[in-house]
Structure 1
Amino acid sequence: MRADTWVGKTIVVTGGSSGIGASLLDLLSQIPCKIINLSRTEPELIQKISKGKEKRAASLSHISVDLSSEKEINKAVAKLAKLTDGIDVLFNNAGVTAHSRFDQTQIEAFRKAFDINFFGPVFLTMRLLPYLKKNKGAVMVTSTVSGLYGIPARSAYSSSKSALHAVMESARIELSEEGLRFIIFCPPYTKTNLRANGIDGDGKKLGESHYSGKSKSPIEVAKKMIEAIEDPNARLVVMDKSGWFLKWMRNISPSFLEKVLYKKLYKDFH
């Protein structure tokens, strides 16, 4: 992390109340900059600062918003306009997972996944484009390796994230001449409450326990995300072998990839 890169910058983070978003706030708030968090719940760090229980070098603000609602996003942007007229970095971090077999998934689960993972970040980015253009800013979306290929028992999740990838790639090409950057970040399994707060095939709360295998900590992921913003050539960023495997095998040998996914995730869809 190069602190000088962030000094004096205006940063917007979504989903900073927990997990990776909270770690982004923790790391970046140690630098003299302006941070605006957008989430339903006010992050614990901002609560502590407002009560004088903690001090940070950054100026932190919180705007309460349901990022699946266009109406609420419009209200949040109106509030944000009173705090800044330019944005250097937008971390579109908020998201939801969805677990169920395709033949046991109701269309409502797809709608919920797309509202939060696709329409929310796309609409927010569209509304913040004037602020990003002013500062020639960067947009990063927190995706998943599941967005690199259709993963068994993750059809709603994978499709909502891969659709987001396509929008970011189009925007990257179209707006490059205006100095904007668009980065897709695909972390591996991370120790967050993503599964507990995800949705099942009926669109209801999933309530699953955390993945028991090898996984990254939110702070590890946040550090890598910050490094990716600092890299002017970053586009599609993965962190481990699983990400690289999906990224390359989908083009080299999709049939082999599907056999591996079938074997590895068989219990997930049976």
Structure 2
Amino acid sequence: MYRKVFANKVFDRKVVLITGGCAGIGRALVLRMAQAGARLVIFDLDRASLDSLVQHLQDHLNCEALGLECDVADAAAVERAMALVVERFGGIDVLVNNAGITHRSRFIDTEVAVFQRIMAVNYFGALHCTHAALPSLLERRGQVIVLSSLSGFAPLLYRSAYSASKHALHGLFETLRAEHRDAGLGVMLVCPGFTATDLRKNALVGDGSIQAQPTLTLGKVASPQDVAEAIFQAALRRQRLLVLSNVDWRARLLARVFPALFEKLLPRLSGVKPPVAGD
């Protein structure tokens, strides 16, 4: 259930661009921002889902919205899409780098092409979008929100490419924040825990093929709506880091202070069983 917006007008009429906005956390955040009066731009690869979501926003939330079919891994496509956004809306106030993919396979069984694909979407996708939007964001003293993961600061079994991409995001965006600390640019890294999204349904395996993964069973699995609400509230405060996880700050502390113990607990914390040969 979405919370009602009361007197808060922080995002009213602001231009909010969300990548991977047709499903999961991205879609929930689109709807939450629309509730807050924002004007929405949605990047996704599914044209039918884009059209349906934009129609829903217009019909039910009286929201001005634009859906653009855009592969964030394609730098030229991102540049063209951003130019269209600036032409139509005049600029961008908030960029949410949400688009991402995952995999499940041992490092030894994972082809290099899988690493390249994961990095192309998760890391370079965020880089492309932020690089293209940055002049407008700086002009408007805007905000960049980046969907990372618990694996952005701690290892996660059978997700070496995914974890590497999230670590890279932290390096990039923490540096970006430092470089523009006096320019009014907000940068928030968000580290959700296990969330009920469709990400696992399109997970890659070691040879690059897609294979749906079993639902994780560790602790309470968060809903996209609850994660979106937490992101929204943190964005209001222009928070720097938001950690949302069933193992939350304790896992982060354990990984940093007692890394050997953390590694022993990884199979349970990861919530997955080892992939067998042929997976």
**DSSP 3-state at the match of 1:211:** coil
1:11 corresponding residue in structure 2: 16
Inter-partner Cα distance in structure 2 for 1:174 and 1:111: 27
Instruction: Please say if 1:32 is aligned against 2:27.
Output: no
User: What pairs with 1:1-270 in structure 2 (closer than 5 Å)?
Assistant: 3-41=8-46, 42=50, 44-49=52-57, 54-213=59-218, 214-232=220-238, 234-262=239-267, 264-265=269-270, 267-269=273-275
How far has the Cα of 1:92 moved from its partner?
0.6
Inter-partner Cα distance in structure 1 for 2:234 and 2:274: 32
Q: Give the CA RMSD over aligned residues.
A: 1.8
**DSSP 3-state at the match of 2:210:** coil
Inter-partner Cα distance in structure 2 for 1:262 and 1:21: 28
- Does the 8 A contact of 2:32 with 2:232 survive in 1? no
- Does the 8 A contact of 2:14 with 2:38 survive in 1? yes
Q: CA deviation digits over 1:26-45, x for unaligned, max 9?
A: 12212333111111121632
Q: Relative to 1, partners in 2 of residues 1:239 and 1:43: Cα closer, same or farther, differing over 3 Å?
A: farther
TM-score if structure 2 supplies the norm length?
A: 0.89
Inter-partner Cα distance in structure 2 for 1:216 and 1:150: 20
Inter-partner Cα distance in structure 2 for 1:224 and 1:89: 16
Inter-partner Cα distance in structure 1 for 2:137 and 2:211: 35
**DSSP 3-state at the match of 1:76:** helix
Inter-partner Cα distance in structure 1 for 2:116 and 2:257: 32
How far has the Cα of 1:188 moved from its partner?
0.7
How far has the Cα of 1:262 moved from its partner?
4.0
Q: Relative to 1, partners in 2 of residues 1:30 and 1:268: Cα closer, same or farther, differing over 3 Å?
A: same
- Which residue type is aligned with residue 228 of structure 1? A
Inter-partner Cα distance in structure 1 for 2:214 and 2:186: 36
How far has the Cα of 1:57 moved from its partner?
3.5
Runs in 1 of length 4+ with deviation above 6 angstroms? none
- Does the 8 A contact of 2:194 with 2:246 survive in 1? no
Q: Relative to 1, partners in 2 of residues 1:260 and 1:130: Cα closer, same or farther, differing over 3 Å?
A: same
- Which residue type is aligned with residue 223 of structure 1? E
- Which residue type is aligned with residue 273 of structure 2? K
Inter-partner Cα distance in structure 2 for 1:32 and 1:18: 20
Inter-partner Cα distance in structure 1 for 2:258 and 2:214: 33
Aligned residues: 266
TM-score if structure 1 supplies the norm length?
A: 0.92
Single out whichever of 71-80 and 123-132 deviates more from structure 2: 71-80
Identity over aligned pairs, percent: 31
Inter-partner Cα distance in structure 2 for 1:263 and 1:192: 20
Inter-partner Cα distance in structure 2 for 1:226 and 1:95: 19
Inter-partner Cα distance in structure 2 for 1:172 and 1:48: 35
How far has the Cα of 1:132 moved from its partner?
0.3
